[in-house]
């Protein structure tokens, strides 16, 4: 199947190069994206084939001196991630064609097409390359390409700023990743993943722990776990929406891929506390991520923060995998891993969908600010349906896919209740409850997002004049919305495929007896089972029956009237609840976290009653920004300013540096 | 092509250029000289079939794989700079340079190439010293082409500080001479300063004295190489020189000093058998990288940013030498090559920028990408490359150097280095993003393009990109042999 | 003379050399500085001559002669010419006053003796005694360079350093190969000429040769 | 087949009985205020009379407004089918686990809150915002209480927990579970919009939570919403009854046992309804931003119950 992989690579490369060959902006736009779609479809085909058959393939090309061959291996784990990337890239690209038509400027489209294709290609290569050096190279190309997509609208200062934060953070992360590779390579004697795996069992504990921390910080930065997340809410909203969809939907998952690869294949036995550390970070990310998302008024920033939450959820699953691996319960471990992977897939589908939805809104209203939206459900009905589907799925409500994977993660957490470790037994239910809490907050957040943006009356002229997006964009969103439902209904089948992936990573001697995925149900022995299909039937059945019953028995007359305004006339759009107002209870309750400040300015004409204007300003604080990163940056600038006093321009001073160093060295020499 | 033959070309070109030629012809001779030098350099290196050592002039000049790498570097960057300068300094128009200045420039340019070639080719430590001093003298006038106040200031500082440094290096040379002369009968006197001879006889040298000599040489050639805290002249000289000269100064001259230091390092290691010189190189290397950080973060002049980045990269080279082993030396030598290519590309870009924007201030340069996408994209990629971003070549050599560090179990050093590199990256990105992106706000109109100048940029970016993925076979073989020579065979 | 007494003579001259270096630091006038430098160089050539005589190394004789011509006659004359031409003020301007310069100088001399004290590996062919003196001379040269304000005095400091190096080359190794030695001298000469040219350039650009004015490039 | 019928019967019982619990509480309150209060028939009549009425729908409303009542009631029906009433099993017993329970409630609430925003009024948004914020906190305490029971019983389904408790004596179990009971009771009060969290009888829009959300509803939709609300209330009471007082539940397949079970169930339910009513009579509505304190108490109770059993059972 190598030729399919090559085919995919060739299509992406072609898509990247075409913009420089073709002349007209529209033609470039079409062909560069068609090329990307073709690449994505090929990726879906061969990765599915690998997943279904469980048979991977590999390819090696001679590489640079010393660092070893450039080997590409598509094993089930890689195939899964290739599937997720390729799968999401197709609708995102379909969406892109019309979405970026507004930038008819040829240069810009070429720029976008080049980096877009490069970005997807780099992601594909990252998840299948099996050599540390090339991994780093592709990893950085991925970051770099996405950086350029983030600064796409570089005339805006925010975009440039976001780009800098993003690239710097990810570069720091890469430094840690590289360090972990060096530590591994120092032990294994080569940069080939195969050798890392072979030498895993003999890794000394101290080295192993060093690797753990470097890997966690390195990939944690990319994944956006709190407190390494600051780049994420800046960068994702700045990119064009279909790119945000890919960044949030799949790029940050490449970090999850790497974590799985490292901890389940490169390090041998896993200490219990690794799992505990990951779980702690995961729950912090999940809860704080969504709490921050709640405070956002900007649709895309809100989605970006919600990605942090979902990474937290994914890592909860992965943390449990490690805990079960450490306590030698392979069956549970593989259940947790399957849950993790399933949530990766699901998050890709609904987060992709939501970003595309946000993009649709943005393209028609030119604002992502919820305070200026409203009433779009009537103007953009299909977008609204799709966005709502995504919102329901991301809030993990049955019967859509988010619920299924979250249920599995709940099960993984709770099935630790028989653990020997008291702490594990005590904390896992609390973590599960906090996960539920995060879920409830997510529901709140997306009620707000959908409710304020799509329901009610439009709050601005742009929103009032919005119209539905073009059919191809609708198709793209529809595809993803369909997948949100489809993944839920097909859940047992998907899970049985994911079992093959986990089988290559977690060696269970016996076939796993504790859970089965046959037919309609996903079952975990101590837990019972769920069947999204049955839920779907039950719910829709109940709805249908009710509907029919009412249609027959109840009065069908409807009278239209203005909304209730306490009996006062003239309810205006400005009297609606705002996004800021909506999150006020949460802001009050968690004021210790947000440190909200408010400022009310009154203007009057001498008399207190004759108010002419009233301004209200409310701000929340991002504690990690304010208390960690900003002081760090300030400190750095301060130190730089002070350090520059070294170089005053006086040649005598420079001479004395040489002079003093020489004397010090001579004294050192005489003491040798 | 013989070693002496190679040296003759730039030397004679320099003096031919002193004759009163008209502008056009002078430009032709200037370019022809550079290309001829390059062609003969390449023939010499690749035609020598990598014989271990070729001696000439009674063993005082030597071409081994180590010097071959640097000859290659000098002639390659030399010809790029030469072509760029043909477009840049010989341009005609209202702001053109006077004929006298051009003549002076052309003369010293070739002389400078000549002295650098002598530096890397000399086997005699005394001759090497003379040549390095001569590079300072030749390039001081190149730094000051336009006789502006700031150029004079920079040239003066350059002259004084480097002369002082190199004087100290002479102290080291004398000590080496002493250590061999005091142990061996005077009969072989003529060979006493020959590096190849000294390395063979390393066992008889007094380790104590060699260490002292190394200290002096480290301070001396370290000054020339731009290691902190001896680097103070570097940002001034590199920022004031015209773009093509800065490219040569930063890309090649520093490298020449580094190879001289490496030769002493090899000698010290052979004579003392200890990690004394390794530790010192690592110490000063790290310090150089650290010193560069604040100056890159808070800098008003983009050429100075590039200059400080040279300090950083020379620090990395020193660290690579210090880590040792095949990875370390190979990485450091590769880094020298990659840095030379990337940094010269950036200095060429700075020439473009100065030409387009008429200012060296970062604050006043914004929206290069809007104004000139060709320049903007090459500049920004080069900035990323120099900050160590793959897929560009500097990443590769930094990767090798740090691998050497991890293999040598110097974890703390590597951790510090990684942190500093990340900070430098941040600084570069901050400056680069500000300059490249954003709206272009009026100012001078786009000046007419020059094919020569643009061509050099395009070639440069392609080369550093390709070398991020692929090291040409002959070059790899050359560097590998050079690093084996430098003791890389021992892990 | 016996070789023994020549060695004593050389040692005595070495001491004088050190004192002359201190003289450069102590003299408040530029002209005195230049004269002290000439005297310093003269002592150096005497030492060279003595060693050449003692060890029958005739190429050292050439060195001595060249030193004499270049450093005792030519360079001081160049200096006088420059200072006349650019009309520099007579007094040496310094960041620190003369007593403290002398105090620092004494400390530096002590340091140079201190660091070389531990490593004595004498041999028949050479003498270690001059190592501290040579290093001290280099140090004092650097002291002049770092504390004096005028460009011209900086060059003087550089030359003092150069003399220290030369002293070391002569006394420890009895001279390097002639070719190298000539090359070095040539370099020094060219260097001085270039610096002279630059001093003129500085004067025309900055209207003075105070290096304090040359602090535009910083940071 | 009998099993299926039985399960269906218990579901039907739950759904049908729901309004009468509201009646009971209303009656209690009326008694405390020296009023007569409605009759049992009245509450059913109140619901039924809404169906033939013409609806008034806001002009701003979209289809969300129209589908919400169906989704709300349908999800409540499914929730009701998850809960064991007379038997240790339930209609959808194969999925009988607590996470689904919580999330199905979440689904209904999600659409309820959306529909509140749909009409573009101030009050809808106000209620929606408050409801979502408070129920998020409630969910935390509720889940943790459930999980602590689950950890104790080594089972994470209602049926499993009940079976486990029923097999043990009251005193043995109560020691560990009373804390969780407290937690779930507090959540019950909040979820069913009762004093001290919300006042179901208020007419002042500014203080409303639940009522504010359905302010625009009338006619048949209002009936569906009201009914689902009542079902939810009974579901919570049934859970309290069957999880914490599982004794007397039907487990032998005889008609007497079934009858006995129905009786015991009714007693337990009305006893709990009495508790809720008693609290309602004897306390005042809390200020909105004091409600989180209440949830904090519930959360702490749940944690203590988890900790307690881990400590004592080792």
In this prediction, residues B400-429 reach a mean pLDDT of 93
The yes-or-no reply on A/B contact (3 CB pairs or more, < 8 Å) is yes
A contacts of D77 (beta carbons < 8 Å): 542
| Structural domains counted in chain D | 1
Residues B450-465: tens digit of each pLDDT: 888 889 999 999 999 9
A644 and C CB contact within 8 Å = yes
Distance from CA of A332 to the nearest CA of B (A): 37
Distance (Å, whole) CA A531 – CA A521: 5
B contacts of A672 (beta carbons < 8 Å): 208, 211, 276
Residue B490 confidence (pLDDT) above 60: no
Q: Which of residues 310-339 of B touch A (CB under 8 A)?
A: 326-327, 330
User: Residue A556 has what pLDDT?
Assistant: 81
CB A355 within 8 A of CB A241: yes
* Sign of the torsion angle spanned by Cα atoms B349, B353, B355, B361: negative
The contacts found for B148-152 with CB under 8 angstroms, 24 or more apart, are: B148/B240, B148/C205, B149/C205, B149/C206, B149/C216, B150/B240, B150/C216, B150/C217, B151/B240, B151/B241, B152/C198, B152/C201, B152/C202, B152/C205, B152/C206, B152/C214
Q: Where are the alpha helices (DSSP H) in A421-521?
A: 422-454, 461-464, 471-489, 491-505
Q: How far from B405 is each of A183, B107, B217, B402, B409, CA to CA, in Å?
A: 10, 43, 24, 5, 6
**Structure-token pair, residue D106:** 């979440």
Q: Do A167 and B429 touch (CB under 8 A)?
A: yes
In this prediction, residues C33-51 reach a mean pLDDT of 91
Q: Do C206 and B299 touch (CB under 8 A)?
A: no
Residue A517 confidence (pLDDT) above 60: no
B contacts of C202 (beta carbons < 8 Å): 152-153, 156
Residues B356-382: tens digit of each pLDDT: 888 889 888 888 888 888 899 999 999
Element containing residue A598 per DSSP (H, E): strand A597-604
A contacts of D107 (beta carbons < 8 Å): 392, 397-398
B415 and A CB contact within 8 Å = yes
CB B468 within 8 A of CB B391: yes
B293 and A CB contact within 8 Å = yes
| pTM listed for this prediction | 0.93
CB B81 within 8 A of CB B247: yes
Residue B491 confidence (pLDDT) above 50: no
Q: Which of residues 147-206 of C touch A (CB under 8 A)?
A: 147-149, 154
Q: Which residue of chain A comes nearest to B150, CA vs CA?
A: A649
User: Residue A525 has what pLDDT?
Assistant: 62
User: Residue D86 has what pLDDT?
Assistant: 83
User: Residue A526 has what pLDDT?
Assistant: 59
- The ranges assigned to domains in chain A are 271-547, 588-620, 623-671
User: Residue B190 has what pLDDT?
Assistant: 64
Residues A384-427: tens digit of each pLDDT: 999 999 999 999 998 899 998 998 899 889 888 877 788 888 88
B contacts of C130 (beta carbons < 8 Å): none
The contacts found for A166-170 with CB under 8 angstroms, 24 or more apart, are: A166/A231, A166/A234, A166/A235, A167/A143, A167/B429, A168/A231, A168/B422, A168/B425, A168/B426, A168/B429, A169/A221, A169/A228, A169/A230, A169/A231, A170/A143, A170/A221, A170/A222, A170/A231
- Residue to mutate among A436, A544, A567, A572, with most D CBs inside 10 A, is A436
Closest CA to A480 of A122, A94, A116, A46: A94
Closest CA to B331 of B380, B383, B394, B273: B394
Q: Which of residues 3-62 of B touch A (CB under 8 A)?
A: none
Question: Residue A628 — left, alpha, or beta (φ > 0 → left; ψ -120 to 50 → alpha)?
Answer: alpha
Q: Do B182 and C126 touch (CB under 8 A)?
A: yes
D contacts of A583 (beta carbons < 8 Å): 129
Chains contacting C (3 or more CB pairs within 8 Å):
A, B
In this prediction, residues B417-445 reach a mean pLDDT of 86
- Residue to mutate among B228, B323, B400, B437, with most A CBs inside 10 A, is B437
Distance from CA of A636 to the nearest CA of C (A): 16
pLDDT confidence of A472, banded at 50, 70, 90? very high
Residues B322-344: tens digit of each pLDDT: 998 888 999 999 999 999 999 99
**Structure-token pair, residue C55:** 């060890």
Cβ-based burial of C146 (10 A; exposed 0-12, middle 13-18, buried ≥19): buried
Q: Do A577 and D205 touch (CB under 8 A)?
A: no
Our measurement of the distance from residue A431's CA atom to the centroid of its chain's CA atoms, rounded to an integer in Å, reads: 21
Residue A592 confidence (pLDDT) above 60: yes
B129 and C CB contact within 8 Å = yes
Residue B1 confidence (pLDDT) above 80: no
Residue A116 confidence (pLDDT) above 90: yes
User: Residue C1 has what pLDDT?
Assistant: 59
User: Residue B101 has what pLDDT?
Assistant: 86
Domain that holds residue C10: 3-217
In this prediction, residues C169-195 reach a mean pLDDT of 79
A contacts of B422 (beta carbons < 8 Å): 168, 171-172, 175
User: Residue B186 has what pLDDT?
Assistant: 61
Q: Which residues of chain D have pLDDT under 50?
A: none
In this prediction, residues B276-281 reach a mean pLDDT of 92
User: Residue C12 has what pLDDT?
Assistant: 86
| C168, C195, C205: residue with CB nearest B171 | C168
| Structural domains counted in chain C | 1
| A644, A648, A655: residue with CB nearest C146 | A655
Q: What φ, ψ does residue C187 adopt, rounded to 5°? A: -55, -45
User: Residue C125 has what pLDDT?
Assistant: 45
Domain that holds residue D176: 2-313
Instruction: Note the ipTM here.
Output: 0.91
Average pLDDT, chain A: 89
| A647, A652, A667: residue with CB nearest C218 | A647
User: Residue A263 has what pLDDT?
Assistant: 93
């Amino acid at each position: 199947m190598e030729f399919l992989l090559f085919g995919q690579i060739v299509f992406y490369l072609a898509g990247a190069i075409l913009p420089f060959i073709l002349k007209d902006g529209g033609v470039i736009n079409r062909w560069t994206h068609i090329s990307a779609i073709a690449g994505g479809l090929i990726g879906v085909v061969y990765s599915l084939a690998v997943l279904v058959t469980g048979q991977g393939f590999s390819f090696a090309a001679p590489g640079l001196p010393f660092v070893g061959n450039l080997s590409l291996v598509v094993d089930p784990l890689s195939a899964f991630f290739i599937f997720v990337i390729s799968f999401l890239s197709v609708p995102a690209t379909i969406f892109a064609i019309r979405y970026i038509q507004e930038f008819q400027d040829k240069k810009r489209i070429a720029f976008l097409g080049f980096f877009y294709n490069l970005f997807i290609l780099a992601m594909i290569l990252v998840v299948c390359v099996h050599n540390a050096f090339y991994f780093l190279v592709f990893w950085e190309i991925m970051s770099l390409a996405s950086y350029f997509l983030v600064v796409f609208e570089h005339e805006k200062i925010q975009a440039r700023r976001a780009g800098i934060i993003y690239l710097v953070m990810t570069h720091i992360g890469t430094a840690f990743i590289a360090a972990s590779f060096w530590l591994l390579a120092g032990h294994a004697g080569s940069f080939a993943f195969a050798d890392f795996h072979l030498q895993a069992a003999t890794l000394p504990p101290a080295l192993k722990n060093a690797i753990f921390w470097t890997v966690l910080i390195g990939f944690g930065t990319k994944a956006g776990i709190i407190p390494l997340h600051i780049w994420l809410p800046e960068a994702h909203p700045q990119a064009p929406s279909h790119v945000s969809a890919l960044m949030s939907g799949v790029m940050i998952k490449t970090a999850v891929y790497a974590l799985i690869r490292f901890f389940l294949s490169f390090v041998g036995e896993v200490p219990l506390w690794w799992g505990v550390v990951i779980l702690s970070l995961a729950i912090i990310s999940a809860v704080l991520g969504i709490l921050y998302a709640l405070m956002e008024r900007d649709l895309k920033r809100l989605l970006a923060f919600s990605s942090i939450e979902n990474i937290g959820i994914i890592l909860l699953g992965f943390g449990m995998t490690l805990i079960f691996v450490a306590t030698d319960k392979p069956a549970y471990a593989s259940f947790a891993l399957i849950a993790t992977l399933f949530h990766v897939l699901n998050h890709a589908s609904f987060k992709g969908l939501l970003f595309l939805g946000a993009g649709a809104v943005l393209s028609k209203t030119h604002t992502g600010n919820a305070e200026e939206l409203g009433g779009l459900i009537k103007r953009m009905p299909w977008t609204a349906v799709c966005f709502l589907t995504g919102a329901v799925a991301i809030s993990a409500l049955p019967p859509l896919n988010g619920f299924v994977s979250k249920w599995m993660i709940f099960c993984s957490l709770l099935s630790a209740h028989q653990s020997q470790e008291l702490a594990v037994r005590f904390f896992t239910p609390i973590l599960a409850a906090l996960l539920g809490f995060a879920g409830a907050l997510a529901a709140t957040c997306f009620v707000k997002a959908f409710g304020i943006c799509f329901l009610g009356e439009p709050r601005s002229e742009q929103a009032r004049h919005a119209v539905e997006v073009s059919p191809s964009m609708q198709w793209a969103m529809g595809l993803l919305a369909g997948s949100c439902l489809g993944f839920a209904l097909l859940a047992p089948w998907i899970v049985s495929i994911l079992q093959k992936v986990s089988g290559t990573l977690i060696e269970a001697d016996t076939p796993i007896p504790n859970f089965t995925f046959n037919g309609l149900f996903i079952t975990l022995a101590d837990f019972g089972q769920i069947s999204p299909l049955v839920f779907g039937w039950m719910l829709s059945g109940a709805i249908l029956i009710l509907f029919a019953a009412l249609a027959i028995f109840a009065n069908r007359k409807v009278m239209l009237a203005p909304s209730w305004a306490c009996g006062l006339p003239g309810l205006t759009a400005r009297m609606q609840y705002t996004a800021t107002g909506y999150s006020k209870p949460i802001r009050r309750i968690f004021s210790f976290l947000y440190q909200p400040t408010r400022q009310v300015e009154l203007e009057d004409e001498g008399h207190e009653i004759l108010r002419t204007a009233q301004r209200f300003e409310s701000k929340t604080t991002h504690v990690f920004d304010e208390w960690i990163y900003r002081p760090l940056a300030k400190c750095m600038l301060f130190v730089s300013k002070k350090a520059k006093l070294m170089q005053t321009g006086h040649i005598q001073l420079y001479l004395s540096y040489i002079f003093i160093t020489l004397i010090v060295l001579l004294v050192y020499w005489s003491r040798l | 092509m013989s070693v002496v033959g190679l040296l003759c070309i730039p030397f004679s070109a320099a003096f031919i250029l002193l004759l009163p030629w008209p502008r056009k012809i002078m430009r032709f001779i200037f370019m022809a000289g550079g290309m001829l030098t390059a062609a003969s350099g390449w023939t010499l290196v690749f035609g020598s079939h990598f014989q271990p050592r070729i001696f000439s002039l009674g063993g005082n000049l030597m071409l081994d794989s180590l010097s071959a790498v640097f000859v290659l570097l000098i002639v390659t960057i030399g010809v790029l700079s030469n072509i760029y300068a043909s477009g840049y300094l010989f341009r005609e128009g209202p702001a053109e340079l006077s004929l006298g200045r051009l003549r002076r420039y052309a003369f010293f340019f070739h002389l400078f190439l000549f002295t650098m070639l002598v530096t890397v080719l000399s086997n005699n430590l005394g001759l090497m010293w003379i040549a390095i001093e001569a590079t300072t003298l030749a390039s001081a006038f190149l730094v000051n082409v336009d006789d502006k106040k700031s150029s004079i200031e920079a040239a003066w500082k350059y002259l004084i500080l480097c002369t002082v440094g190199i004087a100290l290096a002479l102290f080291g040379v004398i000590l080496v001479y002493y250590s061999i002369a005091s142990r061996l009968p005077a009969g072989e006197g003529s060979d006493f300063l020959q590096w190849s001879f000294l390395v063979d006889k390393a066992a008889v040298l007094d380790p104590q004295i060699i260490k002292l000599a190394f200290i002096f040489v480290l301070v001396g050639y370290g000054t020339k190489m731009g290691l902190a805290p001896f680097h103070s002249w570097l940002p001034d000289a590199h920022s004031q020189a015209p773009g093509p000269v800065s490219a040569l100064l930063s890309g090649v001259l520093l490298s020449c000093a580094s190879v001289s230091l490496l030769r002493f390092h090899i000698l010290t290691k052979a004579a003392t058998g200890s990690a004394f010189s390794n530790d010192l190189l690592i110490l000063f290397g790290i310090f150089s990288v650290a010193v560069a950080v604040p100056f890159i973060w808070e800098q008003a002049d983009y050429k100075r940013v590039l200059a400080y980045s040279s300090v950083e990269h020379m620090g990395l080279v020193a660290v690579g030498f210090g880590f040792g082993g095949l990875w370390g030396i190979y990485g450091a030598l590769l880094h020298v090559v990659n840095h030379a290519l990337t940094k010269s590309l950036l200095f060429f870009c700075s020439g473009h920028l100065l030409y387009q924007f008429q200012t060296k201030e970062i604050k006043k340069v914004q929206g290069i990408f809007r104004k000139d996408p060709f320049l903007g994209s090459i500049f920004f990629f080069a900035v990323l490359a120099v900050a160590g971003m793959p897929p560009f070549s500097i990443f590769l050599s930094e990767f090798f150097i740090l691998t050497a560090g991890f293999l040598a179990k110097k974890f703390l050093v590597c951790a510090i280095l990684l942190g500093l590199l990340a900070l430098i990256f941040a600084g570069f990105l901050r400056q680069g993003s500000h300059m490249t992106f954003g709206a272009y706000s009026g100012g001078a109109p786009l000046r007419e393009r020059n094919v020569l100048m643009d061509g050099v940029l395009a070639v440069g970016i392609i080369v550093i990109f390709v070398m991020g993925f692929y090291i040409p076979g002959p070059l790899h073989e050359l560097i590998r042999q050079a690093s084996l020579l430098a003791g890389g065979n021992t892990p | 003379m016996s070789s023994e007494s020549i060695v004593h003579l050389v040692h005595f001259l070495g001491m004088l050399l050190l004192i002359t270096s201190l003289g450069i630091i102590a003299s408040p006038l530029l002209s005195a500085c230049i004269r002290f430098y000439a005297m310093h160089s003269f002592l150096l050539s005497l030492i060279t001559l003595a060693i050449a005589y003692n060890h029958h190394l005739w190429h050292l004789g050439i060195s001595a002669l060249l030193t004499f011509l270049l450093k005792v006659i030519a360079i001081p004359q160049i200096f006088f010419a420059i200072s006349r031409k650019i009309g520099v003020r007579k007094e040496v301007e310094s960041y620190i006053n003369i007593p403290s310069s002398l105090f620092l100088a004494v400390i530096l001399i002590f340091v140079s003796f201190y660091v070389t004290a531990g490593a004595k590996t004498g041999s028949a062919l050479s003498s270690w005694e001059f190592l501290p003196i040579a290093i001290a001379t280099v140090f004092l040269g650097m002291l002049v360079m770092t504390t004096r304000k005028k460009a011209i005095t900086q060059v003087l400091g550089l030359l003092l350093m150069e003399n220290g190096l030369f002293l070391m080359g002569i006394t420890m190794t009895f001279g390097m190969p002639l070719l190298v030695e000539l090359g070095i001298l040539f370099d020094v000469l060219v260097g001085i000429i270039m610096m002279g040219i630059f001093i003129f350039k500085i004067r025309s650009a900055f209207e003075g040769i105070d290096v304090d004015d040359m602090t535009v490039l910083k940071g | 087949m009998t099993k299926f019928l039985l399960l269906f019967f218990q579901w039907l019982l739950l759904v049908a009985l729901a309004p009468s619990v509201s009646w009971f509480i209303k009656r209690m309150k009326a008694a405390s205020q020296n009023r007569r209060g409605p009759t049992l028939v009245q509450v059913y009549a109140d619901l039924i009379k809404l169906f033939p009425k013409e609806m008034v729908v806001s002009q701003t409303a979209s289809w969300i407004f129209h589908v919400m009542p169906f989704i709300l009631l349908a999800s409540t029906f499914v929730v009701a089918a998850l809960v064991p009433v007379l038997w240790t099993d339930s209609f959808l017993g194969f999925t009988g686990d607590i996470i689904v329970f919580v999330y199905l409630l979440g689904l209904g609430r999600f659409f309820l809150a959306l529909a509140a925003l749909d009409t573009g009024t101030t009050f809808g948004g106000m209620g929606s915002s408050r409801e979502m914020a408070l129920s998020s906190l409630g969910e935390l305490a509720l889940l943790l209480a459930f999980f602590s029971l689950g950890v104790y019983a080594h089972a994470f389904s209602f049926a499993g927990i009940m079976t486990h408790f029923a097999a043990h004596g009251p005193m043995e179990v109560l020691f560990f579970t009373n804390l969780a009971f407290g937690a779930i009771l507090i959540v019950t009060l909040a979820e069913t919009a009762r004093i001290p969290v919300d006042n179901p009888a208020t007419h002042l829009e500014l203080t409303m939570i639940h009522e504010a959300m359905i302010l625009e509803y009338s006619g048949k939709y209002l009936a569906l919403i009201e009914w689902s609300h009542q079902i939810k209330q009974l579901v919570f009471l049934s859970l309290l009854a069957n999880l914490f007082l599982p004794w007397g539940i039907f487990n032998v397949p005889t008609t007497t046992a079934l009858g006995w079970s129905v009786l015991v169930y009714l007693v337990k339910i009305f006893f709990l309804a009495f508790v809720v009513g008693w609290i309602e009579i004897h306390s005042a509505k809390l200020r909105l931003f004091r409600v989180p304190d209440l949830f904090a108490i519930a959360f702490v109770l749940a944690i203590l119950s988890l900790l307690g059993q881990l400590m004592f059972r080792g």
